[in-house]
């Protein structure tokens, strides 16, 4: 197995507090982060839900072409696919697939994005200020991992937006891997199939990826947290839509006649177990999460997501919400509240734990060890494109993208972890160059 390479740029990075020349993977990561590409659940009927995702995809497509990737295609729905030919002697081995997403989270400020590099010297790492002028910082209290990062460079935003490490760090890692393979043709690897997809953050993700053309039966998504994190278990996930229809009557004569839809939604929410919200749960605990709500007297709406690792328990959550609506409707004496649901994805473990996919776990473990990192298998409290893809026939577990504090302005990515993952991927594709 060849020794991992270090790829550096000759120019120092702008927006950096250090004089260190930045590596190729850091350079591409920051370029991708500069483009705001949040998905939007309110326009989810369109794919992609936002046109800015095309801007990132076009930049990545240009990078793929400049490196020499084959069959680079960006379609009308912002699905970008490409292939990398096998090294000599590995042409007849199965194609190994990788998938990342080009959108970023919609739940926080995301435009404009101003990535920067900060040298962490201990104590509180001040990132900048949020749009309201409040200081944004990361500390050992919020992130105990910082004690191991003293003296290291860290990529973050200026505090006015999220960074986008979820999942642009994963995108940059894949592009940097291809540069390694281009610069060092003797590095062993099978044929690689690469997919960069839109709208993962709103549950759409890889739904329209043509798996027959993609041509890989197994592989990895790169969309996880700190270095060493590995996921083959995810939540089962569903959306629940609660709607209320009221009756407006002049407030002066409303007694016994008015039905306030907004209040009906409030009563409904109070019946959902408060202790089972995300802020009170961890590990294998499932939850109910109120994503958004709106309303007035005659109509109101609340959209929830519910999660559980156990299929039976998520069905129980759906029933709890139906029962709450039925109870309130009984009080109102008519159907004021309606509840509908939609399954988003299922637990990845149902596929990856099959014996024929054990290599996905064991090869990842070896590849992490090659960069001095112990693999940590976690039950992901969310999902990845891998959940959806695995049930469609492309079995894929999830690797680190090395971001911390995702979906918020305190998000950051350590440079050392970003670079180590490129070494890890080089080793991993080398394992799949063996029969």
> Residue 136's beta-bridge partner residues?
128
Query: Is residue 153 a contact partner of residue 119, using CB atoms and an 8 Å limit?
Result: yes
> Residue 379's beta-bridge partner residues?
233
User: Comparing C-alpha atoms, which of 202, 236, 220, 166 is closest to residue 381?
Assistant: 236
Please state, in angstroms and as integers, the Cα–Cα distance from residue 36 to each residue in 56, 106, 157, 174, 206, following that order.
Answer: 8, 11, 12, 20, 20
Pairing mode, strands 229-233 and 192-197: unpaired
**Which residues, 6+ apart, have CB-to-CB distance to 273 below 8 Å?**
288, 320
Query: Is residue 128 a contact partner of residue 224, using CB atoms and an 8 Å limit?
Result: no
Q: Which helix (H) or strand (E) holds 398?
A: strand 395-400
Give the CB-side neighbour count of residue 394, counting CA atoms within 13 A: 28
Pairing mode, strands 395-400 and 218-224: parallel
Q: Which phi-psi region, left, alpha or beta, contains residue 172 (left: φ > 0; alpha: ψ -120 to 50)?
A: alpha
**Which residues, 6+ apart, have CB-to-CB distance to 355 below 8 Å?**
none
Pairing mode, strands 21-23 and 8-12: antiparallel
Catalytic amino acids?
103, 200
Q: Which helix (H) or strand (E) holds 120?
A: none
CA distance 136 to 181: 39
Please report where in the chains the tokens 């990529």 appear, as a residue.
Answer: 155
In DSSP notation, 221-248 reads: EEEESSTTEEEEE--EEEEEEEEEE-B-
CA distance 138 to 163: 14
């Amino acid at each position: 197995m060849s020794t991992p390479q270090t790829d550096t740029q000759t120019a120092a990075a702008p927006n950096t507090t250090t004089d260190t020349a930045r590596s190729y993977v850091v350079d591409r990561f920051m370029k991708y982060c500069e483009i705001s590409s949040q998905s939007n659940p309110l326009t989810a009927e369109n794919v992609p839900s936002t046109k800015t995702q095309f801007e990132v995809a076009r930049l990545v497509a240009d990078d793929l072409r400049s490196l020499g990737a084959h069959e680079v295609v960006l379609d009308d729905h912002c699905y970008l696919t490409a292939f990398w030919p096998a090294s000599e002697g590995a042409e007849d081995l199965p194609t190994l697939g990788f998938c990342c997403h080009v959108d970023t989270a919609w739940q926080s400020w995301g435009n404009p994005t101003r990535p920067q590099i900060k040298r962490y010297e201990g104590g509180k790492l001040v990132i900048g200020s949020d749009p309201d002028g409040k200081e944004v910082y990361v500390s050992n209290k919020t992130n105990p991992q910082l004690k191991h990062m003293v003296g290291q460079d860290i990529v973050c935003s200026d505090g006015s937006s999220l960074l986008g490490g979820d999942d642009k760090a994963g995108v940059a890692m894949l592009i940097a891997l291809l540069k390694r393979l281009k610069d060092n043709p003797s590095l062993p690897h099978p044929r690689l199939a690469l997919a960069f997809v839109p709208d993962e953050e709103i549950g759409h993700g890889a739904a329209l990826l043509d798996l027959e053309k993609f041509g890989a039966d197994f592989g990895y998504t790169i969309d996880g947290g700190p270095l060493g994190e590995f996921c083959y278990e995810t939540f089962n996930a569903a959306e629940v839509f609660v709607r209320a229809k009221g009756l407006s009557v002049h407030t002066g004569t409303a007694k016994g006649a008015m039905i306030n839809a907004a209040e009906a939604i409030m009563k409904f929410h109070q019946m959902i177990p408060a202790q089972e919200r995300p802020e009170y749960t961890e590990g294998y605990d499932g939850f109910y999460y109120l994503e958004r709500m709106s309303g007035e007297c005659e109509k109101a709406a609340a959209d929830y997501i519910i999660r559980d690792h156990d299929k039976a328990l998520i069905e129980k959550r759906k029933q709890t919400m139906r029962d709450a609506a039925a109870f309130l409707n009984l009080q109102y004496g008519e159907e004021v509240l309606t509840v509908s649901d939609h399954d988003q994805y299922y637990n990845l473990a149902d596929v990856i734990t099959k014996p024929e996919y054990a290599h996905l776990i064991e090869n990842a473990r070896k590849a992490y060890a090659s960069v001095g990192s112990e693999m940590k298998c976690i039950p992901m409290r969310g999902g990845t494109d891998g959940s959806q893809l695995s049930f469609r026939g492309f079995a894929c577990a999830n690797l680190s993208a090395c971001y911390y504090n995702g979906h918020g302005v305190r998000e950051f990515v350590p440079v050392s972890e970003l670079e180590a993952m490129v070494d890890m991927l080089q080793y991993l594709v080398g394992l799949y160059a063996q029969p």
